[in-house]
Each structure stands twice: as structure tokens, then as C-alpha cells.
Structure 1
């Protein structure tokens, strides 16, 4: 049995997409996701995306990180799937319903409303998430926000001066974060501009992270550092984030289909 896939990316954050909306596929689990994501022996990606039928939305999107862990949300993947779908859609995720709409500058996604209470992040114990009284070396007093998945944001003079490959996994797996955490280091350069780098939970240092851009923009707005519409520039390129007055976060940016292909199910131990 051969299984079709589509390779896509959003600002370099890349995905292998399996579409089971009309044709059922064999079960997808963590070992399969990790095997397909491997850049040496698999297809290679940051996340494996599985599309399935849904009763709550137009379809369901499941997201597996490169290590096989399944997560709640992915903004870049949502834009990619919006492009693949080709028309407005309500997409069911583990983090809730998100809505994608084709736009002149790419795909706009309504990402939902941010949550700041410590249980929603979640944290290991109660604390003020607006200015957390914690530090990891030079990274101090972050803000935590859940935008479908959990993020902690540090505002620093120069995000590129931080050794994210070393300190990112240290923070991601800290006992303070029982579900692990996405780690963002951000520099505010203007009232409408932020520079951002992200260590992504289960994927590592990434060229772009849509939910990270959303969380960072909301955190900067919450602290009064920027206005409610801001361009967040990641290593892969810019995203426009708006935190509307109705509390909804809207992300707009590009998505790209790279190529299509297929693989033999038996090569990855899939029983059919």
C-alpha cells in the first residue's frame, strides 16, 4: 500500500501532510510520526499533519512534532492547511476550533483567545503569569500565555545573543512546566515590530512558529510594549499578528506547497 503525502511549509517551518478526510489511512502514532519526520531516513519535517473528518468543524487537524509527541496547535501548519484546502474553513484541533481564510498576503487564521491563568498554561504551581518570578541564567521574569498550546516569552535586547540551542531545552523540560513549554526570546524594535526566535516543544529551534508569534505579540501588548497590530519577524520571515478588541488573535502570513509524493506503508512498519 502506498500512502500519498504533501510537503508544505510556512516560512520554513515544514510539514508532511497526510489526508485521511475521504480515504481512511492506517493508524498514525508517535513512532510513525517520528520516523516520517526524520530528515535522514524519512521524508523530513518539523511536524507531521494528519487531516481527518470532523463533526465539530469542516475537518480535523492532528499535529505530531518531530519527536512523535502530539500537540494542540500549530499556526504555520494551519496556514499551510488553509492553502491546501483552498477556501475558508473551520478546523478542529486539540486546542479548539481555528478558522482559516485566504488573504492577499497569504492565509489569515483566527487562532482563538489567549489564556493567562496558571492552570491553563499549565504551570506546576500558582504564580503571576504576567511577570513570572523565575529566571534561567540571563532570561528573567517571562510572561506565559496559552494560545492553543503553551508558551513562555522572554523580552531581551537581542534575541540572537541568546544560546537557544543550549538554554531552550533546559527551559522546555523544567519541572515548572508539566506539559513542557515552547520557549520564545523576543526583542521589541518599534511599536509595531518584534524580532523573535523560538525553541519549539518537541521540535527544537525552528525557522518560524505561528503560535509563538501570536503568544509573543499578545505578551508584548499585555505589557504595553507594542500596539495591537504588530509584525513579528522570525528567522524564516514575517507574520502579521493582530489582537482584536473581541480578544481574538488573527495571524496572517504566507504558506507554500513544496512537493507531493508517496511512500510504501510497509517501509515504515505500517500493517495494512
Structure 2
């Protein structure tokens, strides 16, 4: 499945064991496996109102706490299999319950927990200041300025004037390897087109640059909304497609992510160690 080009292998793990790191790596490989950004596993619900729960693994078998595009794909799976009897239902994500609304035409809205801008939520290490922008110096002597947002998973947000020429791979790897930041951090590069429209590229934890990142879109949009620099309802264009992000205020309101889903193919995967 994919959501705006962010692609997943979706496993029905009800009554089955979780995938090993070796199996995640084998399935994720785009040359010798299926190929995906992340592996999603569907399991029985953990809370009374949820239809199902799901977990998220990277290509090296590490777990992730949030994936907005993945949540929409799980919702689409739940509707297609008949588990969701209405267009409004709840799922248990790794970071807690989330509300889903099906809008038709394979489009879903997901209400995610409010973003956090608290440095301790990531956590950050070794910074004297407690508010953005935070700064790190590269080995070449350049200074990178960024904000931080937790969407249940950690994000760094870097504003750029020219998204096309942004050093996504080099700076993404640099920040993911920086001891001041968690190694599970995703790095979002955002360009403001106008107050209602952002462009975004994301270097994701465990996947490198992806065609889209739902939690990254929420992180970048909410970071700029908090500063009053963009509207409370913005379109976020990424290489794989466009998502809509809405956040009514800077307090404890959920943030809503809306976008498409697609089933690509289904089948079995033969895996054996040699």
C-alpha cells in the first residue's frame, strides 16, 4: 500500500508472531524483496473502542511510534476487509488511540495527538537554549538552524528558500547521527510557497528520503503555525503527492492529516535464510 507515495508492506499479524529484523530487511529491500519505506503490522485492539491496533517497523527492524500515511493505509485496509462498519472509527496506533474519518475516493482524515515543542519530548541534549531555532555546526563549519517537534516520533524542521536544491541526504544523515538528537529523528525541509501552501521533503528515520511523510508534514506545518507564519489549514506538497494539515490552535487540540491511500498489490512472501 502507499499514501501519497510513502509505501508500506502491510502484514496481518492477528494470531501470528511479529516480523524479525531480518524479515523486515528482506521485505523492505527494493531489489531482492518487496520494497517499502516501512513495515506495518495489524494486531488485535488494545483499547475498548478501537477496531484494531498496528505497529510500525523500519527496514532494520526498529520500531517507530507514529506514521500518518501508514495510519490512513491501515484505515483503508480496515474498511476493505469489512472491519469498519461506518466511516468514522478508531485505531490503536503505537502512540495511542487515533480517530479516523473516511471521506470516500480512498481518502481519509486522521486525528493525531497534539504536537509537542518541548525539547524534553524528543529529547534534545546539550543545548543551553530552550526555544528554537536550535543550531548545530557541521564538520565543514556551516551552521544548521532547525526547530523540533514531537508527533509521538521526533522531527527536526529546517526552513529553506529553495527546496529543490536542499541538501536533504547530507544534512539528514548529519542530524540523525548528531549526539544531541535522537537517532530515530526525521528531518523535514520545508519551503513556504504562501500562507496556505508548503512544499516539503523528508529524510526519514530508517528509510532515507521518502516520497511523502505524514507525521513530517504535521511537524513542519504545526511548527510554522505555532509561529503564526502560515494559516491553520495548509496544503503540503511532497514528491509523491499532497496532504492537507489542519490544527485549530497552539494548545491541546488534535492535528488532522488528510490524504489519499492506494492498494498496490497483495500476495505471499517466500523468505529463507541461506
- The TM-score normalised by the length of structure 2 is 0.88
Return the alpha-carbon distance in structure 2 between the equivalents of residues 134 and 107 of structure 1.
Answer: 37
8 Å Cα contact 1:143-1:154 kept in structure 2: yes
Deviations 1:164-221 (A, max 9, x none): 1222111112111134310011010111110000000110000000000000000111
Q: 1:28 is paired with a residue of what secondary structure? A: coil
1:142 aligns with 146
Change (3 A) 1:230 1:139: farther
2:130 aligns with 128
Q: 2:218 is paired with a residue of what secondary structure? A: helix
Q: 2:100 is paired with a residue of what secondary structure? A: strand
Between 49-58 and 75-84, the greater mean CA deviation after superposition? 49-58
Return the alpha-carbon distance in structure 1 between the equivalents of residues 233 and 205 of structure 2.
Answer: 26
2:97 aligns with 97
- Deviation at 1:160? 1.4
8 Å Cα contact 1:122-1:179 kept in structure 2: no
Return the alpha-carbon distance in structure 1 between the equivalents of residues 21 and 45 of structure 2.
Answer: 21
Residue 53 (str. 1) matches residue 77 (str. 2): no
2:225 aligns with 221
Return the alpha-carbon distance in structure 2 between the equivalents of residues 212 and 261 of structure 1.
Answer: 30
Q: 2:190 is paired with a residue of what secondary structure? A: strand
- Deviation at 1:104? 4.1
1:252 aligns with 258
Return the alpha-carbon distance in structure 2 between the equivalents of residues 131 and 229 of structure 1.
Answer: 23
Residue 39 (str. 1) matches residue 30 (str. 2): yes
5+ residue gaps, structure 2: none
Deviations 1:126-154 (A, max 9, x none): 54243214355666331100012110001
Alignment map for 1:1-272 (pairs within 5 Å): 8-21=1-14, 24-56=15-47, 57-86=50-79, 87=84, 88-104=88-104, 106-125=107-126, 127-136=129-138, 140-245=144-249, 247-264=253-270, 267-269=271-273
- The TM-score normalised by the length of structure 1 is 0.89
TM-align CA RMSD: 1.7
5+ residue gaps, structure 1: 1-7
Return the alpha-carbon distance in structure 2 between the equivalents of residues 82 and 12 of structure 1.
Answer: 16
Deviations 1:48-69 (A, max 9, x none): 1000012223211110112322
Q: How many residues align?
A: 258
